[in-house]
Amino acid sequence: MNVLIRYLEQWEKQDTRNLYETAFSEDSREFVDYYYHWKIRDNEIIVMEEEQPLRGGFFHVMIHQNPYMIWINGRKERIPYLVAVATDPVCRRQGKMNQVMRRLLQDLGRNKTPFTFLLPADPAYYEGQGFIFFPDMALTGIQDEAKRGMIQAAEAQISYMTARSSIKWRQAGETDIAEMAAFSNRVLRERHDVVISRDRYYYQRLLAETAVEHGGILLWRHAGDLRGMLTYALTVNSQGQSQGRYRAEIKELLLEEYVSEEESRKICQNALQKAGVAGKRSLEVEFSFEKMMVRITSLTAVVPLLKSQKRRSFHVKVSDPVIEANNGCFRITLDWDGGSIRQIPEEEVTENMDIARLTQELWKDVSVYLNEWV
């Protein structure tokens, strides 16, 4: 049987829905409807299929590349987020996903895409493809130990949020989008080096996404100014609705101030109760922050985007078994002003690194905040 690896045309993308529903059976029909309404508008889908596929499409493997505009140390780049990485059950354990992933990574390298990222179901598999977890990825409002004093001071200012009955949170709507985008972009870019640029379309899509998860976005204002945003999904827990217990999955809590995880939980519980999210039913709050993995796809494109708090220099021979252009001998320098890379003779090399280890070194001073579902 001859197979073909290719990118789908726009009109073909809906044909992958059967594979999506098979591979991700835990997703509700409403969520899949949302995904195929919003996400395939501007994404790319690479598949492996038979050369003469069955009517309606029979795909052995697929990977979706959902594009995000990302701020990286003050520069904006279009970066693909890999999702819906799926193999048809009858095609598993045959090395087919490996073939498609290699082709995708090589294409990104040829296109000078700096890197790609994903939320791994099986980290070991992706480590074998050169991915690593972001070394400095923020999952909450706390960046590092150096900000502990700031956090303690902020807690003294904001702890009244959980105590004062006058604090009100309300559901966001379309008319709030411009303000939400401005607030989130400002807060996140002040705190982190790498964040997604949030525009009107981003929040239109997020409101639709949380709606199918029975959630939404809550807003808190003080003296007329937006001071906090809480994004959540709501589900009935395993005991069932008859038990009157609901679980709120917190996707994001953004506040002007830094707060601890303990204080964050109190704020979320208070906000959801004040907004009447669960009515009179008891409500459990659960944070769903998970770490992403990154894969450098163009070494020469990513280095100029990165910075380091301390000047660091590498005279390194790089090995990348997937992307040929990343192989070679380079002098790489990182400092507060940015990064530079140039080829050097092999006799100037002082250390050898594979692409995963080099990624670890290059990204370790870069504060990353990427918190997406799909």
What tens digit of pLDDT does each residue of 165-214 get? 567 899 999 999 999 999 999 999 999 999 999 999 999 999 999 999 99
Residue 158: helix, strand or coil by DSSP? Answer: helix
Cα separation, 275 vs 170, whole angstroms: 6
Q: Domain 3-133: which CATH class?
A: alpha beta
CATH topology (fold) of 145-287: Aminopeptidase (3.40.630)
Q: Which of 12-26, 140-154, 207-221, 293-307 has the lowest mean pLDDT?
A: 140-154
The mean pLDDT value for 3-21 works out to: 95
Whole-number pLDDT of residue 208: 97
Query: At CB < 8 A and 24+ separation, what contacts does 211-216 make?
Result: 212/28, 212/30, 212/31, 212/33, 212/34, 213/31, 213/249, 215/248, 215/249, 215/251, 216/171, 216/172
Whole-number pLDDT of residue 142: 47
Q: Which of 59-63, 281-285, 305-309 has the lowest mean pLDDT?
A: 281-285
Q: What per-residue string of b and e applies to 29-58 under the rule 16 or more CB within 10 Å gives b?
A: eebeebbbebbbeebbbbbbbeeebeeebb
Please state, for a pLDDT cut of 90, what percent of the chain lies above it: 74
Q: Do domains 3-133 and 145-287 have the same CATH topology?
A: yes
Nearest-CA neighbor of 210 among 122, 134, 282, 277? Answer: 277
Query: At residue 359, what is the residue type?
Result: T
Whole-number pLDDT of residue 180: 98
The mean pLDDT value for 33-61 works out to: 86
Contact 342, 330 (CB under 8 A): yes
Q: Which of 72-81, 196-205, 236-245 has the lowest mean pLDDT?
A: 236-245
What residue spans define the domains of the chain? 3-133, 145-287, 299-353
Whole-number pLDDT of residue 245: 73
What tens digit of pLDDT does each residue of 79-121 get? 999 999 999 999 999 999 999 999 999 999 999 999 999 999 9
Cα separation, 366 vs 194, whole angstroms: 7
Q: What is the mean pLDDT of the chain?
A: 89
Nearest-CA neighbor of 45 among 102, 4, 104, 89? Answer: 104
